[in-house]
Structure 1
Amino acid sequence: MVYIGEYPKNPNTQGWEQFNASKSAMLSAFDQAIVRSKGRKVQTEHGKVAEAEFRKWLSDFLPKKYGVTSGFIISQGLGEAATTPHFDVIIYDILESPVLWIEENPDSSMNGQSRAIPAEYVKAVFEVKSRFNAQNVKNAINHIGELEILLSGQNPDPDGYNLFLPKDFFWSLVFFDFKIGDRGKLSSLNNFLDGLKFRGIAPSVILRYEGFENEVLTGSVELFLNKQKDEAIADVSSSQFEFNDLNASFVLCFTEENFSRFAFSTLRLLNPNLGYSNYVRGSSNSEFV
């Protein structure tokens, strides 16, 4: 069916299944790494593979004016004694930004190199974790918190120097797996509250919901600001639950469309002039297939 002219409310648009195949490829590489690491005392390979696969997908998806790398964010306003934390995924202005130095990582592809990027050219940071749970959320947000000093001002400073991350900087968390045993655990969403201290919080994504065939569901964790506090929803049999605190809600919901929604909302955050998108949106249960 062609939709132009009479566009249905919830269509399956061109290429949605092919687009979701990119997610399946990431998960397949992740699963293979888990198998390879079985029996090892320290099992870290699958985490490194998850980071590298996500960087590769994001680099292929985004326009080439955006660079994607792991690495370090450097400010000319910090002295040499300041710590230089490493981040899993940095999006930066590849056309304008100098690269201060490059380090080689064990995943030695181009997407595995770590680059040092001046703070004013950094567009976004993603932290990648294997599993969505309370501890991993806490650890990821604590790591984002290492950018707090670079989020505390605006460029340029009174002397004309660019010391901070840009005003449109954003950050997000990426998880590869949601396990059935973690359904309805509000502590996972509760730990997102600490992220409210840092400007630029964007929707987070969970690539797989354990127990569903063909890995079709993708999770999204989004922040909503409330006029009043409501009761939290934690139905352990549902694919959606919510944590409310004061005037903020974090809602976790799984749908087939969330992978494309995440991709194009990221693109829109990088370029607000793009507007909203229905590209590669679809569901295997849609009546418009």
Structure 2
Amino acid sequence: MERLIDLHTHSSVSDGTETPAQLIRAAVAAGLDTIAITDHDSTAGWAEARATAQGTGLTVIPGMEFSTRQGHRSVHLLAYLFDPTDADIIAETARIRSSRLTRAESIVANLALDYSLTWDDVLAHTHTGTTVGRPHIADALVTRGHAATRTEAFEQILHPRHGYTMPHYAPDPVSAIRLVRAAGGVPVLAHPATLGRDAVLDHATFAAMADAGLFGLEIDHRENTEDGKVRLRELAREFGLVLTGSSDYHGQGKPNRLAENTTSAEVLERIVAEGTGAQPFLP
């Protein structure tokens, strides 16, 4: 029987709506065999996820979604099985989280000039230890009645064209890949074709990422376009990259459902074989 493997999910440690324990219970209820917890720039949910998965039959792959930036463009990197005590990873993700917080405070201050919104409104949508970001601001806008859904808030009020938002600090993707590899991790580029074939990162960048140790591309993702997937397959063949699929589950924060896209058991085995910084959390 086919194993259900979902390698991209979020908890309330970043921008998911469920605690790590609730995420694990949801994965069990969905019939998953393996799940990766990949909160943005944080490993703070690993211990709770591991403890909750004990005895459930669910394997947990410890991971993270690493924020990076190529020019003006945000590029996300899924990092699996790296050493969470690696000093360089700790320092870089701390810098990113600090910049995310400062940015969030600035966005709320900008929004407050035109909308009834306070910092406390945003904090009401977080948990202790949460990395505060735009999704929590979007949820606060929904609660205040300024948008119907988180998605609408992002597409309307929080769209860059309205001028309320600004970028946070993030390293370039090649540097992030090197950091992940140095910490024994396995880097996979997250949802790299959301804007279509012509907006996929340029060939030179892919060559540099592959040379730095990029392992794979998350191709089966609801936001990747069909023509973008064609380009990703071409790049994967050229640079010898594996292909993964994931839900990018956020609980109630997004329409994404667990196991709506999955990764093959063969690819998971290759990831586990290459990851030397941490081990899967076995049931």
- Could you say which structure has the larger radius of gyration? 1
Q: Same fold (TM over 0.5)?
A: no
TM-score, with length taken from structure 2: 0.36
Structure with the larger strand share: 1
TM-score, with length taken from structure 1: 0.36
